[in-house]
Amino acid sequence: MRILLTGGTGFVGGAVAAELAQRGLLDQTVFMVRATDAEEGCARLRETLLRFGASEVQARSVTPDRVLCADLLDIAAIADSPLLAGLTQVIHCAALATFSNNPRIWASNVDGTLALARAVLAQSRLTRWVQVGTAMCCGPGMAAPVGESWEAGTDEKAHLVPYTRSKVAAELALRALPGLPLVVARPSIVVGHSRLGCAPSPSIFWVFRMAFALERFTCAPEERIDIIPADWCAQALVTLALKPQLASDLYHVSAGMGSSNRFTEIDAAYAAAAGTPPVAPRYQQVGVDGLRGLVPLFEQRLGRVNRLLILRALTLYGAFAELNYVFDNGRLIAEGIAPAPPLAGYIGECVRTSEGVPMTQQMAHDFK
């Protein structure tokens, strides 16, 4: 077995690296990292492993000779690398994951991914390529629970952000590539870590802090929110990569109806952890069109900020929340993967580990 993990210094990819450490597979893994040299890439991987709870011994087991320094924007530079030879599995987490209109999104997420797959196939006989996408790529107008579908998200005009459109395009391009044993895994909303809270990354958790501070948002109190922790997501991705036989080539890595929480349940758990009253009695649901009016309230309760950034954040995340999606995870559960821990069960650790972190600092993770 010889695994290639891309994006191992990111949020989901870092959790995958830690999961590989727990399974004793680091010495069988090659890591593709964006770095100036292998030593820098190795140092970043070790720091990421420690941040995700790996031991010092596990972190030190990653050595520069298994680090492939590469950027998805320039795969040609490493296409002939001997580190791509003999691979059996690829877990492709690397992407430009942002809700901004970054002009490099397509070149990185689509063109770069396809170039990497071609380079790997030229040197290796793969048994599995796990392409990590996003369940939100289905676009609006779907009935919940949303089922796995290759057709979902193919309408380019239906996407709320360029990122989700790029992820669908990458999946379809890979599916058309001869000889690639593709399995697409689409995580739902990844927030926190079931044991470490927001210590590995505060990404997206700021949305909850904001909604509870404003006592207003676009979701209804009784609506379910499909959220999973990064470590459970990683367990599912590694299982999909290593299991000899799978029943499908497309999976939602999601909480589903069984592990998703209603907004009121998250509110109660958040309040208990923060030592504050639940916002439910004062909560007001607002439409996306009404979010602009919340900017002054944001400044009043959370401090002065970049108004354009806040409005964009409110609008984007409000539009996703308004979709009210829960993603069917029946295929994943049928593969023997245990259900995800509900957010309400670990949100206390997210609250504790994000105390004192400025809201704008947390938001920076999602607007690169």
Instruction: Indicate whether 270 belongs to any domain.
Output: no
Instruction: Indicate whether 305 belongs to any domain.
Output: no
Number of domains comprising the chain: 1
334-346 pLDDT per residue, tens: 999 999 999 999 9
CA distances (Å), 216 to each of 283, 357, 364, in order? 6, 21, 22
**For 89-98, 178-187, 191-200, which range has the lowest pLDDT when averaged over its residues?**
89-98
40-66 pLDDT per residue, tens: 999 999 999 999 999 999 999 999 999
C-alpha–C-alpha distance, residues 287 and 218, integer Å: 5
Six-digit token string for 81: 């690398």
The mean predicted confidence, pLDDT, of the chain is 91
CB atoms within 10 A of CB 181: 16
Could you tell me the CATH number of the domain that includes residue 23?
A: 3.40.50.720
Name residue, tokens 């309230």.
Answer: 297
Residues in the chain: 368
Q: For residue 295, is pLDDT > 80? A: no
Q: How is 245-275 classified by DSSP, letter by letter?
A: --S-SEEEES-HHHH-EEHHHHHHHHHHHHT
Instruction: Indicate whether 121 belongs to any domain.
Output: yes
- The one-letter code for the residue type at 264 is T
Q: For residue 330, is pLDDT > 90? A: yes
Instruction: Indicate whether 364 belongs to any domain.
Output: no
- Could you give the residue ranges of the DSSP H alpha helices within 52-186? 56-60, 105-106, 113-123, 162-175
Instruction: Indicate whether 76 belongs to any domain.
Output: yes
Per-residue confidence (pLDDT) for residue 127, from 0 to 100: 98
Instruction: Indicate whether 284 belongs to any domain.
Output: no
Please give the model's pTM, rounded to 2 decimal places: 0.93
Instruction: Indicate whether 317 belongs to any domain.
Output: no
Instruction: Indicate whether 311 belongs to any domain.
Output: no
Owning domain of residue 251: 3-191+225-258+326-335+337-341
The residues that bridge with 197 in the sheet, in sequence order, are: 193
CA distances (Å), 362 to each of 4, 225, 301, 310, in order? 30, 20, 16, 12
C-alpha–C-alpha distance, residues 231 and 18, integer Å: 8
Per-residue confidence (pLDDT) for residue 287, from 0 to 100: 85
Q: For residue 238, is pLDDT > 80? A: yes
Three-state DSSP state, 5: strand
Residue 293 pLDDT level (bands cut at 50, 70, 90)? confident
Six-digit token string for 196: 């470490």
Name residue, tokens 């997420």.
Answer: 109
Name residue, tokens 């949305």.
Answer: 207
